[in-house]
Amino acid sequence: VPATVEQTLDRHLVGFVDVLRRSGLDVPLGSTLEFGRAVAAVGAGTRSGVYWAGRATLVRRPEDVGTYDEAFQRHWMGAVPGTRVTTEQPTITLLLDVADDVDGDPDPAGESDRHDDHLSVRWSRTEVLGSRDFADCTDEELAELHDLMAGLRLFGATRRCRRLRPAAHRGRPDLRRTVRAALRTGGEPMKRAFSEPGTRPRRLVLLLDVSGSMEPYARALIRFLHAAMVGRRDVEAFALGTRLTRLTRELSTRDPDAALSRAAGAVTDWSGGTRLGDGLRAFNDTWGVPGMARGATVVVLSDGWDRGEPAVMEEQMARLHRVAHEVVWVNPLKASPGYAPIARGMAAALPHVDRFLEGHSLDSLRDLADLLAG
C-alpha cells in the first residue's frame, strides 16, 4: 500500500475516535490503539470490517451502540477512497477465556462452521490485559498486572572479563594447568591445557522518571524495576524527579509490597516536578561516569518532559552515551497514535539514544525484558 494511502487511513482512524469523543463516548488511549490493531488485522477494504473493528474495541456499553452507529455513518460514508461499501455485516463472537467459562461450550451448534461470514475471536484475560495501556487500566486491572509483572524474569546479557576460565580445545595456552597435568604422567606433557576469557553479567542501570507527567505509568514501571532487581545480578535502580534518588537497596527485597513501600518512603518527590537534565547530571557526576555506567546497559524510563534547559539534557545524555555500552530510552507515550518526540527534553536526548522503545503495557515490558536478555 502506498505510504500516502496509509497516512490517509491513519488520519481517518484518529479522526473517527475524535468524532466519538465529541459525541460523548469515553474512548481511552488503549482502546484507540486496539482499534488500530483490529483494523490492521481485518483490513480496511470493506466498511463492515472497519465498523466491527471499531465496535469491538471502542464501544464499552450497550447503550453507546446507537451513538457509535450515528458517528460511524457521519464520518466514514465515502471517507476512504477506494473503500468498498458492503451492506451485509458479519456476525462476530468475542470469546473471553476466564475461569467461569472453562467448562462451557462456546459454539454448541457449530454455527461458525456453517457460516463463512461468522468471525470468532478468542482472547484470554491475560492476553487482553497484556496489551492494555497502563493509563487506561482500572485499579483492579492494575492489581492483576502487578501480579503478572512480578513473574517477569530478566536474564542478563553477559560481557567478557579479564578473569580466565578453562577452555576445552582453543584459547591461550595455560602453562600452569599443563604442568600440573604433566606431573601426573611422570613429567611428560601428554596434554596441553588452554584458557579463555570468562564472562560476567553486564551491569544494568535503570533510571525511572517519577514526575507528575509519568504518574499513570510510574507505579507500574517501578514494578518492572523490582522484577529486574530480584531476577538478575548487578542491577542498579534510581528515581528521577526534581532530585536523584538511589533505590537499589530498597528494591532488593524479594517481597514486592515491602520493596515498593520502602521505595515510596525513599522518594520524596514522587509525582512532583521534573528536571531530567539535572537528575542525569547528578547521576553522571556521582555514579555513572566514575564507574557505574561504564560498559553498562542504561535504561531511561521517561516521557521526556523536562522543565530544565534542553542544552543540559543533551550534554548529560552525550556524557552518558560515551561511557555506557548501550543507552535505551523507554517512553510510554511512543505507542500513542501520531506521537512524535518533539518534547524539548526528548528531542535533545534522542540523538544519544541507541534504542527508543515503548513502555505503556505489560507486553511492551516483556519485549524490553527480552531485549535486555540479549
C-alpha cell belonging to residue 203: 551491569
Which positions ≥6 away from 104 have C-beta within 8 Å? none
Of 92, 74, 85, the closest CA to residue 23 belongs to 74
Quick count: other Cβ atoms within 10 Å of Cβ 137?
20
Q: In what order do the strands lie in the sheet with 297-301?
A: 244-246, 235-240, 204-209, 297-301, 326-331, 355-358
CA dist., res. 300 & res. 221, Å (int): 11
For residue 290, name the pLDDT band (cuts at 50, 70, 90).
Answer: very high
Q: Model confidence over 295-330: pLDDT tens digits?
A: 999 999 999 999 889 999 999 999 999 999 999 999
In this model, does residue 5 exceed pLDDT 50? no
φ, ψ for residue 81, nearest 5 deg: -60, 135
Q: What is the mean pLDDT of residues 34-42?
A: 84
Residue 253 has pLDDT above 70, yes or no: yes
Q: Does the pLDDT of residue 180 top 70, yes or no?
A: yes
Give pLDDT tens digits for 48-94.
788 888 888 898 887 888 888 888 887 766 433 333 333 344 443 44
pLDDT at 71: 86
pLDDT (0 to 100) of residue 106: 46
Each residue of 219-230: pLDDT tens digit? Answer: 999 999 999 888
pLDDT at res. 34: 84
Alpha-carbon torsion 152, 291, 258, 272, what sign?
A: negative
Of 136 and 110, which is predicted with more confidence? 136
> Residue 344, SS3?
helix
Q: 78: which DSSP letter?
A: T
**Most confident stretch, 30-44, 60-74, 99-113, 329-343:** 329-343
Cell matching residue 264: 515510596
Coil/strand/helix, residue 244: strand
pLDDT at 198: 63
CA gap 168, 194 in Å, rounded: 7
Task: Report whether pLDDT(113) > 50.
Answer: no
Residue 317 has a CB neighbour count (10 Å cut-off) of 25
d(CA 362, CA 96): 19
Specify the higher pLDDT residue, 117 or 15.
15
Q: pLDDT value at position 226?
A: 92
* E-only strand ranges, the chain: 91-97, 118-124, 158-167, 172-173, 194-201, 204-209, 235-240, 244-246, 297-301, 326-331, 355-358
Q: Which range has the worst mean pLDDT, 28-32, 160-164, 339-343? A: 160-164
- In this structure, whether the domain defined by 149-154+202-373 belongs to CATH 3.90.110.10 is answered with no
Q: Quote the Cα angle for 125-127-132, to 5°.
A: 95
- Whether pLDDT at 21 is above 80: yes
Tell me the three cell numbers of residue 163: 578473569
| Gap between the terminal Cα atoms of the chain | 33
How far apart (Å, rounded) are the C-alpha atoms in residues 77 and 321? 51
Mean pLDDT for the stretch of residues 14-18: 84
- Separation of alpha carbons 261 and 268, rounded Å: 12
Asked if residue 129 has pLDDT above 70, the reply is: yes
What does the alpha-carbon distance between residue 283 and residue 91 come to, in Å, rounded to a whole number? 57
This prediction's pTM: 0.63
Most confident of 166-170, 192-196, 333-337: 333-337
* Residue-range domain boundaries for the chain: 3-132, 149-154+202-373, 161-200
Instruction: Read off the pLDDT of each residue in 168-195 and give the average, rounded to a whole number.
Output: 77
Q: 47-58 and 65-76 helices cross at what angle (nearest 10)?
A: 140
pLDDT for position 14: 81
Query: What's the CA gap between 357 and 350, in Å, rounded?
Result: 11
